[in-house]
Amino acid sequence: MKKLLLSIPIYLIFIFGLQAQNIQIVNASFEEWEDVSVGEDEPVKWSTIKTSDNPTINAVAPVNWAKCDTAHTGNYSIRLSNLITLIGAVATGGITTGRFHTTFNPVEGYVYSDFSDDQWNMPFTGKPDSIAMWIKYYPVDNDTLQAKFLLHRDSCTIGILPEYQDNVVGWAKVVLTGEHDEWTRVAASFEYYSNESPEYLIAMLTAGAGLDAIGGSVALYDDVEIIYGDASVAGNSVLPLNVFYSQGTLFFRDMPKEFKGSQVKLIDLMGKTVLTKDIEGDRVSVQGLINGIYIAAVTTDEGRYTTKLYIK
């Protein structure tokens, strides 16, 4: 009997561990919709520009999403459209598991986890390997579909405001160009910047290239899936990177032997890789970077080394 009682906590830990590694985004297949009194239903646990935190903007914002009965599986997908407004600006079709912060200056907009109401944040404690989804895309000219996924602790935003950078745990971004008239699976790996466990996930799906989106582009999304796996543990392990910046050069301290022949990448606050350089010695030239906060990352067979880097 004692052996049986002792085995119960171990069994529960095992079961809870499995559950933690199978957390998915709620309503990721867009089968459930609700009336939010803005002229078009929203998917449950997702929100749009019409339910942003600015009632004045909400009143004049266009409806740039729709329930679509062309689905990869099930009955529905979501259709996002870039619309040209009355003043000639492009309202990028977008939807998020967080909440939109909007102003009349698009540069000041972002999405964030709003803790004032459960409908505008998504608790998430898993550390997945990657994210996958099924899309159809009909871009105008060279427009670009973008989907972003941020794992974070405490408060955080997409685009990532500098004061919240320390709360970023992981980041994944899908960028897709060209027309895709058939359902196409796309995926992206999570980049991990911290060994901390996340508390929330912000997903943001769009039909265009952010502030550069082109009016008329249309994207369909369905079956967004979080991917886990034992093979991802080594690839996502985070080790400290001992590097500092001075006058256009990165200097490595106590550099592991496996760094030579590898590459160092600098990733900006939007998740964009702005520089990739081969590592030949203990220093790398990085001339021409804009002042700001970056993630420096080196991936080797031993794991992934990262650190936050200030360039000024």
Question: pLDDT digit string (tens) for 115-153?
Answer: 999 999 999 999 998 899 999 999 999 899 999 999 999
3-class secondary-structure state, position 73: coil
pLDDT confidence tier of residue 12, bands split at 50, 70 and 90: very low
105 class by beta-carbon count within 10 Å (0-12 exposed, 13-18 middle, 19+ buried): exposed
Q: Domain locations in the chain?
A: 26-233, 237-311
- According to DSSP, the residues that pair with 134 across neighbouring strands are 185, 222
Q: Which strands sit side by side in the sheet containing 94-96, from one edge to the other? A: 94-96, 200-206, 144-152, 168-177, 191-192
305 class by beta-carbon count within 10 Å (0-12 exposed, 13-18 middle, 19+ buried): buried
Distance CA 129, CA 12 (A): 24
Distance CA 135, CA 184 (A): 5
Among 20-24, 160-164, 257-261, which is the least confidently predicted range? Answer: 20-24
Q: What is the pLDDT of residue 238?
A: 59
Give the CA count within 13 Å in the CB-facing half-sphere of 104: 4
Please tell me the CATH superfamily of domain 237-311, with its number: Penicillin-binding protein Tp47, domain D (2.60.40.1270)
Residues 6+ apart with CB under 8 A from 245: 251, 286, 309, 310, 311
Using alpha carbons only, what angle is made at residue 118 by residues 112 and 122, rounded to the nearest 5 degrees?
55
Choose between 135 and 187: higher pLDDT.
Answer: 135
Q: What is the pLDDT of residue 72?
A: 95
Strands 218-227, 168-177: pairing is: unpaired
Among 36-50, 86-100, 270-284, which is the least confidently predicted range? Answer: 270-284
140 within 8 A of 214, measured Cβ to Cβ: yes
Pick the CATH number of 26-233 from 2.60.40.1180, 2.60.120.890, 3.30.1370.60, 2.60.120.10: 2.60.120.890
**What are 229-275's pLDDT values in tens digits?**
743 433 445 577 888 888 889 998 888 888 888 888 887 766 678 88
Q: What are phi and psi of 189, to 5 degrees?
A: -80, 150
Residues 6+ apart with CB under 8 A from 202: 96, 97, 98, 111, 112, 113, 122, 148, 149, 150, 152, 156, 157, 158
Q: How many residues are given for the chain?
A: 312
Residue 85 has pLDDT above 90, yes or no: no
pLDDT confidence tier of residue 54, bands split at 50, 70 and 90: very high
End-to-end Cα, the chain, rounded Å: 65
Among 34-43, 232-241, 273-282, which is the least confidently predicted range? Answer: 232-241
For the residues 164-176, what does the mean pLDDT come to? 89
Tokens, residue 49: 């520009």
Signed CA dihedral, 39, 87, 211, 101: sign only:
negative
- According to DSSP, the residues that pair with 266 across neighbouring strands are 275, 296
For the residues 77-95, what does the mean pLDDT come to? 88
